[in-house]
Amino acid sequence: MGILVGILIFSFQIKNEAVAPAEVTKVEETNVASATGEVATEPATYEVVKVVDGDTIHVVADEKKQTVRMIGVDTPESVDPRRPVQCFGDKASEKTRELLLNKKVRLESDPTQGDTDNYKRLLRYVFLEDGTNVNILLIEQGFGHQYTYNKPYKYREEFIKAEVEARESKRGLWADEACLN
């Protein structure tokens, strides 16, 4: 019995010694790769070549024009051929143009929203080079409202709060006189 216990202890020690060096090597390889920048890369940026309306833009990605619909924000319509221009639609489009046209942006997807919508537009959060989230900025300044299409999204609570603050402060389309025409 003592021999059996000894064999078990010996084989356990050998097994642990065989595993330990591989784990240490793996950690060192990860650290070296991260330190040299081989693993960590800069996020891609894309040039905005057209602003369709307040919540839709065109960017150039891989030498191809892509349409991007901003997640979580809905601005009044200004280009829908089936409807007249909505109140504040032109102003929302102009603000988005001012913020984004011919600028470099970073795009962030959200797994809760899928990659594209029914119109094959990429669904993304849009960030300026300084890190500003344009989607929430449009809501904060009253150029659009928080919009949940199908499922809650990553920044939803922040967007809802931004809309409440814009409404209470009567900014943009929430101003008393904004849509009297």
Catalytically annotated residues: 69, 77, 121
The residues with which 106 forms a beta bridge, in sequence order, are: 127
Closest CA to 102 of 57, 47, 46, 45: 47
Distance between CA atoms of residues 6 and 8, nearest Å? 5
Residue 39 near residue 33, CB atoms below 8 Å: yes
Three-class DSSP category at 105: strand
